[in-house]
A and B are shown apart, each in its own frame.
Chain A
Amino acid sequence: MCGTCGCGQDHEQIDRHGHDHDHAHGHAHETEERRIAVELDLLANNRRHAEANRAWFRERGILALNFMASPGAGKTELLAATIRMLSGRFPVCVIEGDQQTGLDAARIREAGARAHQINTGKLCHLDAHMVGHAVEALQPEPGSLLLIENVGNLVCPAAFDLGEQHRVVMLSVTEGEDKPLKYPDMFATASSLVVNKCDLLPYVNFDVAHCLDHVHRVHPELMPVHRTSATTGEGLAEWCEWIAAAAESLRGPLLEEGRA
């Protein structure tokens, strides 16, 4: 039985993906005390679940995005605005992660997308196993967008691959331009950046260029940067076009095969 959620998963059998064991290689000795050399990666199990998710998404041309940010950066608002702009072009499903309540999932449904709420209880991040179960419940259609709103937290979610195509890290202009230096692991693992609440720039001490310099220091490779205001709509057209282009490139091969 799975120790995480009590599901019937037994001993690392993962449906959609072959699994391999991390084997220990022992030395046989006569003495009682011995040392066993092993190579056991603490994140290997999560990675296997993530790769199973990734393969499942790829087979169906589903674009999965993992949204990570501090609580209050505007993740849910951005997702709701994105859904309103794109749900005419693509089916959209959302996986919501919060410690408690279904409040965010309700907001997403109001915006016009199907949503599955994961309540993590005392856990501070989503992992690939949880996302796999959510996907089973949600059954996103081929060629759809799957938006995963991670638990609001700039520390813990960074370590856990969910099987996403892109890790979208958000910060709002009310959080301070030095955020990327204070939470380097999160920004180092991003594949796209959203700077949100740009309508508030005239009222706060936030220099976007300085912030991007700090991002560059912990994330030297170039990545797409989107400046948005989820409430006024600033930057949303460009943001949605970026998503649409990514989704179309996944969907293209499926359309050719007649599967989407």
Chain B
Amino acid sequence: MHEMALAREIVRLTEQAAAEQHVRRVTRIHLQLGALSCAQPDALDFAFTACRQGSMLGEAELAIARKPALGRCPDCGDVSEMWSRLDGCAHCHGKMLLAEGGEELRIVELEVQ
């Protein structure tokens, strides 16, 4: 499950940022996950719960916000939110959308003490 590799990276990056900011304790880590990214939110949360053990993150929690891609219909030109690579056009019912963005996998904020 590649979410383990991502969760280990969350721990590493957070510990590094915490050290740079002289933070005693991290209570919450805010993540942005693009809807077209490779990570499944609940799998990532599960993996993180395992990875944070033994780190300075203690009982820090993940707060995961999913972000859609922008999908442009190649037939009618309509632009809408895209939550899956298989989404079609809600406007003209075309079967596919051209995706822009939606692949973010990033920590955007730390709640600390």
Q: Which residues of A approach B to under 8 Å, CB–CB?
A: 3, 21-24, 26, 32-43, 45, 123-125, 127, 155-156, 158-160, 181, 184-185, 188, 216-218, 220
Contacts and interface: CB of A to CB of B under 8 A. Distances in A.
Interface string B30-44: 000000111100000
B109 A37 contact: yes
Given A22-B13, A156-B2, A35 B111 contact: yes
A218 B27 CA distance: 38
A236 to B, nearest CB: 31
Interface of B: 1-2, 4-6, 8-10, 12-14, 16-17, 20-21, 23, 27, 36-39, 74, 84-86, 95-96, 98-99, 105-113
A223 to B, nearest CB: 15
Contact of A41 (B17, B85, B106, B111): B106
B85 A185 contact: yes
Residue among A32, A35, A181 with the highest chain B CB neighbour number at 10 A:
A35
Contact of A36 (B2, B6, B13, B21): B21
Given A3-B12, A158-B38, A217-B96, A24 B110 contact: yes
B85 A218 contact: yes
Given A42-B6, A216-B96, A218-B96, 4 more contacts: A3-B12, A35-B112, A37-B109, A38-B17
A40 B85 contact: no
A181 B84 CA distance: 11
A42 B9 contact: yes
A43 B5 CA distance: 10
**4 A-B pairs with the lowest CB-CB distances in the bound complex, closest first:** A159-B38, A156-B2, A24-B17, A184-B85
Given A38-B107, A184-B85, A155 B2 contact: yes
A37 B110 CA distance: 7
